[in-house]
């Protein structure tokens, strides 16, 4: 095993060529998501040629390009998983809490939130970073970096992947963060204003970067393949896994450590998101605040944590006798190009992403046994996701369970998609679907949102949805490994 740290010559920087000028667009007038149910959403933009008819269906919609789905392409599997969440800092703890219907949402303790409109969150409180790293390593990272490294260590231990000089060059890392080192950044600004610039810890120059977790994980495991931070807001974790799958299919890596991490629970970020009226204000009943697909929902709840998986070329995994948790058979990614906070009112981008993932996997809608929903508990997002699922799955949507674990772990932003993917793998392994807490009066009474209690259900094939701010949409399709 080679040392994790080795001096490297810096890669020269290249100035990108100037892009061609683009046609002017009409002035953008931002609007926030309406806070009251039934409020009128922003009007859709004009349809472009080839964008399909007015009917909310995937028929006629241009599908995003997907890689060759022929049998000859490299198959990709998941061989390890790790998490840090408010209800469990290992996969086993998380799953036990999910099937028990345990909520990790409570009053904020990290700072004084008494004057904020929202005073609740799903904080990570039972976590010791020194179980995964040295004190010196921990000091140079913010919370999100520590969560990412801890989850990556768990995932690599389960995978059993050992790096050498030879295979390290074929190991990549894609870990993204939506908020980055916001906690350390806010503290640094306050310290500098009070004590001056010399008071700032030099570690912030590196540890404050969104790509810091990818760098730390690469150094720890000697990953010398493609690395970086792909950031697509709330879809970040799913996007990182999906792009890792593409990287392996293209032959540019044999394995990739992929996922997302965030800790958005700061006074600044809670105030800003609450003022956007995106957060729930059920401060007096925090465990009932996140209620995806329930008619009384009033916003999401911030959560902290990380989810990391090891994705690997199937033959590579089989040769070394690795545990195979599932096969990633499809990935779809699109952008609404519509609004910074509200989904497209007809869900065009989300529908294309979901349909694209099925197309990439060679699946019919009737092949899917479970939908792990994005389900944020906001008025517009949940309504649009219901319409998306209805549109793509048709009548089959009424026959399969659909659930959102954000009702228990909160919204982890960049970490959400990968943690939810890992919960999907657990549902597949145990034949049990986790519940959607607080879904007492469902938005659509014909759909099975698995309200409040887990359900036994055989899951061979599933999809996991992630739809982020900025119109970023990403969907993964996974299937039980059967060789």
Q: DSSP class of residue 300? A: B
**C-alpha separations of 439 from 403, 443, 447 in Å:** 10, 9, 12
Does the active-site annotation cover 234? yes
- Known active-site residue 411: yes
Helices (H) then strands (E): counts for the chain: 13, 14
| Residue closest to 418 by CA, chosen among 78, 158, 141 | 78
Options 316, 339, 344, 374, the catalytic residue: 374
Q: Read off φ and ψ for residue 453, nearest 5 degrees.
A: -135, 135
Q: How far apart are CA 384 and CA 346, in angstroms?
A: 7
Which residue in 234, 316, 339, 344 is the catalytic one? 234
Which single residue is written with the structure tokens 């209690």?
453
Cα–Cα distance for residue pair 230/152, rounded to 1 Å: 16
- Cα gap 6→391, rounded to integer Å: 52
CB 97 within 8 A of CB 88: yes
CA 194 vs. chain centroid, Å, equals 36
**Matching residue, tokens 């683009």:** 22
Nearest to 229 by CA among 201, 259, 269: 259
- Using the structure block, give the residue that is written with the tokens 């092949």: 367
Tokens of residue 471, six digits? 């119109």
CB 312 within 8 A of CB 161: yes
**Beta strand 227-228 with 171-176: parallel, antiparallel or unpaired?**
parallel
Strand partners, 79: none
Residue with tokens 């599933």: 462
Q: In the 8-state DSSP scheme, what is residue 166?
A: T
CB-count exposure of residue 445 (10 Å: 0-12, 13-18, 19+): exposed
Active-site residue among 344, 411, 439, 472?
411
Residue 332 structure tokens = 């779809």
Which runs of E-coded beta strand occur in 227-292?
Answer: 227-228, 255-262
- Report the candidate in 231, 221, 223, 222 with the shortest Cα–Cα distance to residue 154: 221
Active site residue 374: yes
- Greatest CA span in the chain, whole angstroms? 64
How far are the Cα atoms of 65, 203, 268 from residue 187, in angstroms, in the given order?
Answer: 43, 13, 11
Task: Give CA–CA dist 427/421, Å, rounded.
Answer: 10
Catalytically active residues, by annotation: 234, 374, 411
């Amino acid at each position: 095993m080679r040392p994790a740290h080795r001096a490297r010559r810096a890669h020269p920087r290249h100035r990108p060529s100037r892009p061609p000028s683009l046609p002017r667009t009409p002035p953008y007038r931002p609007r926030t998501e309406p806070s009251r149910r039934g409020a009128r959403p922003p009007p859709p933009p004009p349809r472009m040629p080839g964008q399909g008819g007015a009917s909310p269906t995937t028929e006629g919609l241009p599908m995003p390009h997907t890689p060759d789905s022929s049998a000859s392409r490299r198959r990709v599997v998941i061989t390890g998983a790790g998490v840090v969440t408010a209800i469990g800092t290992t996969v086993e703890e998380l799953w036990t809490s999910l099937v028990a219907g345990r909520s990790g949402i409570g009053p904020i303790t990290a700072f004084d939130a008494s004057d904020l409109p929202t005073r609740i969150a799903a904080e990570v409180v039972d976590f010791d970073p020194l179980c995964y790293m040295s004190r010196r390593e921990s000091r140079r990272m913010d919370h999100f970096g520590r969560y990412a490294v801890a989850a990556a260590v768990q995932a690599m231990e389960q995978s059993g992947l050992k790096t050498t000089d030879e295979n390290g060059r074929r190991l990549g890392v894609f870990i993204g963060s939506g908020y980055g080192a916001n906690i350390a950044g806010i503290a640094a600004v306050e310290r500098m204003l009070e004590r001056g610039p010399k008071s700032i810890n030099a570690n912030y120059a590196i540890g404050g970067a969104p790509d810091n977790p990818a760098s730390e994980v690469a150094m720890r495991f000697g990953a010398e393949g493609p690395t970086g931070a792909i950031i697509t807001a709330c879809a970040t974790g799913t996007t990182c896994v999906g792009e890792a799958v593409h990287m392996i299919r293209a032959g540019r890596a044999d394995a990739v450590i992929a996922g997302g991490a965030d800790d958005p629970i700061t006074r600044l970020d809670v105030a800003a998101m609450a003022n956007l009226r995106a957060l729930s204000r059920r401060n007096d009943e925090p465990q009932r605040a996140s209620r995806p697909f329930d008619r009384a929902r009033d916003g999401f709840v911030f959560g902290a944590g990380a989810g990391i998986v090891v994705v690997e070329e199937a033959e590579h995994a089989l040769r070394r006798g690795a545990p195979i948790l599932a096969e990633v058979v499809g990935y779809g990614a699109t952008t609404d190009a519509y609004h910074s906070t509200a989904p497209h009112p007809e869900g065009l981008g989300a529908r294309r992403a979901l349909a694209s993932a099925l197309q990439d996997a060679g699946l019919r809608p009737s092949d899917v046994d479970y939908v792990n929903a994005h389900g944020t508990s906001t008025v517009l997002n949940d309504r649009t996701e219901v319409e998306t699922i209805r549109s793509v799955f048709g009548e089959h949507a009424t026959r399969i369970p659909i659930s959102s674990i954000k009702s228990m772990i909160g919204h982890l932003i960049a970490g959400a998609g990968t943690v939810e993917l890992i919960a999907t793998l657990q549902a597949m392994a145990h034949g049990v679907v986790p519940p959607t807490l607080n879904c007492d009066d469902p938005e659509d009474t014909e759909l099975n949102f698995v309200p409040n209690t887990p359900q036994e259900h055989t899951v061979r094939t599933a999809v996991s949805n992630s739809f982020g701010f900025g119109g970023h949409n990403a969907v993964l399709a996974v299937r039980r490994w059967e060789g």
